[in-house]
Amino acid sequence: MGNAKRTGHRTRDCLNVALVMALAGTAISPPAAAKEARRLAVLEFSGSDLKVDVLEAMSDSVRSGALAVQGRTYDVMTRESITMILKEMAGSGKCGEGECAVETARNVGAHLVITGDVLLVEETYVVTLKLRETQKGTLLSTQRVEGKGQLEVLNRLPGAARALVSEGLGLHDSGEEGSELSFSEMSLRVAVPEVSVSSTNDSLGEINIAAEQRLEAAMDQQENKKARPADKAMAWCALAGITEKNPYLDKASAACKAWQAYAEEQDKMFERMKLDYGTLDEYLRLKRKTLRQKEAVVNAFLVAYRRSEEASYLRVVAMAGKELAAGRDATLCPIERIEECGAQLVREAAAEQRRRDEAAAAEQRRRDEAAAAEKARRDDEARQAAMARAERQRKLDEETAIRTHRRRVGIGLIVSGLVMGGLSGTFLALGSHQNGVIQEGGLASGSDLQTAISNGHLYNGLSIAGGVLMGVGLVIGLPVALANLPKRKVGVDVSLSPTGMGAALKAAF
């Protein structure tokens, strides 16, 4: 088909035919020629906080996808064969990156190796697949799979594995899980120019102000990540345009040519990308294509133009891919409104990020408030417990004070009773003495006799009163004192005798 047919009159009626042929930069690669079969090893995936069986299921999904590639020129090694070889070598298949993975693959005799790394980012699982050849360790291709759940990731891994192998080995895989369109990747033939220029140390009279001003402008453009390659080329070419007293002429001329070449390559990629974008737009409008087929074509477009600086196109296509991955049909923004759509997506992404940040902040506030409430509850419980302990101690102290007072009163009554008992005995002895004097009759006169009789009566009365008071003090004071003795813990120890025939009960009061 000629170039005019490739770029003109692309209508929906003839699109099905055009999709099978090269259409506006879209190329369908022929099946790879038969080659000697090589070995492809899929190493066990690595991922934090994931169970081993989940990681093994993911690596199995990748193996099934690698087996399903049409026109494959390799054999896929099973986990059992890899494990057996490594076991004989006292090695491990849990080696996920770089030289370690390549060395492990060499040890099991594989020519190709696929590694996978799983991350959980903001409740989304992100799986990065890498295909390397083992002879030199060259990275051939990469694929990334995202999913909200482990099951979604497992379902998408076979298709990603097919795309990974097809892209890395240059195979065409037109199965349902793969892309029906393969966009020829426009790899830049020149690298992004890196320019480093130091200011001159010439004396003030020898400095070319115009050159210095254009150097500053060129460096500003060089460091501006949003500046277009053509703008950077223009800035350096403007500096190179000063030929008199220009100490930066050689570096400016080289930078001018490098940025012009880079801008030209970017323009070629952009023209090809616009054509492929139109083809992709028409493909996504087909009603009989499955969402999985459309998603595969979108992924192929994103892989082919991942080095492009036209961010608006990539944002729009990436959003369509997310819609398809979520199970919803998607169409692309009209090409004449691509910048507007890209800017809108940036605003929506920023709004979504703000929403997530606000939600995260709200969740953090909720957690902080819950933690503060829990701390306040615990502090209140501790305060209530302290108050209860203080109240119990107050009551105990009050009870102890009352018991101490009563005990002292009881002891006082006992002492008083004993004193009264002593006095009663004394008066009793005095009364007996008087009685003896009266009975002996040795008194001089009747008045002396009367005095002795009166004293006897007095001593006897006092003896009786002292005895009564002693009895009252002992009867009342002794129970009061005993009832208010200090409380002591009672320990009870029950143990069996060595013979097991009896038990000893010990109580400490």
Ranges of each domain in the chain: 35-169, 207-344, 345-496
The tens digit of pLDDT for each residue in 340-356 reads 888 888 888 888 888 88
Closest CA to 281 of 345, 346, 338, 339: 338
Cβ neighbours, 10 Å, residue 112: 24
CATH architecture of 35-169: 3-Layer(aba) Sandwich (3.40)
Classify the C-alpha dihedral 290-145-306-173 as positive or negative.
negative
The tens digit of pLDDT for each residue in 212-244 reads 888 889 889 888 877 888 898 899 999 889 888
Classify residue 33 by its DSSP letter. P
Buried b (16+ CB within 10 A) or exposed e, 203-216: eeeeebeebbebbe
Q: What's the pLDDT at 114?
A: 93
Q: How confident is the model at residue 98 (pLDDT cuts 50, 70, 90)?
A: low
Q: At what angle do helices 311-325 and 338-440 cross, to 10 degrees?
A: 60
Flag whether pLDDT at 71 surpasses 80.
no
Flag whether pLDDT at 393 surpasses 90.
yes
Q: What is the dihedral of CA 49, 54, 55, 56, to 10 degrees?
A: 150
Q: What's the pLDDT at 348?
A: 85
- Residue range 200-220: mean pLDDT, rounded: 77
Tell me the C-alpha distance between 212 and 199, whole Å.
Answer: 8
